[in-house]
Structure 1
């Protein structure tokens, strides 16, 4: 793989670095200039992702994007290249926005907290929202969450979830309530996302008895345990969801 090929691959995976090949990541580790460029791209892409919401573009989106793009350009860059850069950024945002509208994961009747949770998970899964912390194991993720005071699962989770490799976590708010999304790696490089709330008063949720359903291409399970409420969602087959929960 050449440096340019590595750069293109890393550029395409700024919000999901786990999708980049080991060879591309090795290029960045050896090349300080390439690593700095990747970090700059990731910062810009994360800023754009944070401006997007599931329902509507926020006020001032255009102005914020222009400010971000100008901030990332060298001071003496020719005007024609600045204009081209702005047009590219606007086109990228338009594609992201259209893509989000086309992949809304919610179908059928679903309690509002579940619909909002699934949309938050979907954004993370598609790289539209970057993880706050990265860690390879569930125990490391728990330590990060405990130290930050974010909603954190109890030590015991159903099935084999605790033993699955992780990518990291993201703190979110669902209907004004703090929550945490933990991203697990499952078999065949599929992903499963667990969202946890420090609240067990949600309707239509049973204690320690996962309730399964589907929505678009997602398989979901919701349950509560003590003072926690959980949703586990994956685009893997339903049998994989059941395996993770230990209900096969």
Structure 2
């Protein structure tokens, strides 16, 4: 099994319903633990699926949607499906659902191009549990060198944040834009997370705009623009906890 085949199989894998010991799933899951690129994709795929599920839960399904999905997934009575064909039918049904969700999102977004709520929510969903980092290092210089090698955005770390010991970093993705993440140790088992993405990923944020604070459960994010990039700090706590790590004017 190669990486492309593993991705196809993992896209149809449902952790709560499918048997991880099934030979196909087991092989794909094994490859995901051995291949760093596949592991990164699999983590982001699961985070995206969870974000979709969270968004879908916020509004009722359009009338008749379930019937239309089931109709798409039903095989002809005289046709015998193989396991692979069943998987394809399920994928088609899922694609149909995503199209419906995307349509709702387009209607919602007709009044605004602000993607910041989605960006904040997706990034916080990744760090709610101890994040999986691609590089673990307490040395900020080593982290910057690694980001340069990966052609990732090397952030200007706010002075107050640079006083903390770094833990590590990784590269995430948001709407096909790379996002740099560096984690810092706040002590007491808590971290401060710095995200940086190209400003083109968040066209609703204008250069020089005031810092935007958002709350995601026990987390607070503070977002601001700097040249061609958007910076976001995420911490557990209130606005004051995030405020202390912002760059000084």
Deviations 1:105-136 (A, max 9, x none): x9xx9943442343234323414x52111111
Check whether the contact 1:136–1:168 (CA below 8 A) recurs between aligned residues: yes
Higher Cα Rg, which structure: 2
Calculate the TM-score normalised by the size of structure 1: 0.53
Specify the alignment match of 2:119 in structure 1: 116
1:126 aligns with 2:126: no
Distance in 2 (CA, whole Å) between partners of 1:64 and 1:173 is 29
Calculate the TM-score normalised by the size of structure 2: 0.52
Once the two structures are superposed, the pairs formed by residues 1-248 of structure 1 within 5 Å of their partners are 59-62=11-14, 65=20, 66=22, 67=24, 69=26, 111-127=114-130, 130-154=132-156, 157-199=157-199, 202-207=203-208, 209-245=210-246
Change (3 A) 1:71 1:197: closer
Aligned length: 166
The alignment yields a C-alpha RMSD, in angstroms, of: 4.2
Check whether the contact 1:199–1:227 (CA below 8 A) recurs between aligned residues: yes
Give the 3-state SS of the residue equivalent to 1:186 in structure 2.
Answer: strand
Change (3 A) 1:216 1:110: farther
Check whether the contact 2:120–2:221 (CA below 8 A) recurs between aligned residues: no
Distance in 2 (CA, whole Å) between partners of 1:173 and 1:72 is 21
Give the 3-state SS of the residue equivalent to 2:225 in structure 1.
Answer: strand
Specify the alignment match of 1:34 in structure 2: none
**Unaligned 5+ runs, structure 2:** 1-6, 31-48, 59-111
Check whether the contact 1:121–1:193 (CA below 8 A) recurs between aligned residues: no
Check whether the contact 2:213–2:239 (CA below 8 A) recurs between aligned residues: no
Check whether the contact 2:136–2:168 (CA below 8 A) recurs between aligned residues: yes
Distance in 1 (CA, whole Å) between partners of 2:113 and 2:193 is 18
Check whether the contact 2:169–2:182 (CA below 8 A) recurs between aligned residues: yes
**Unaligned 5+ runs, structure 1:** 1-50, 52-57, 74-96
| Superposed displacement of residue 238, structure 1 | 3.0
Distance in 2 (CA, whole Å) between partners of 1:133 and 1:202 is 30
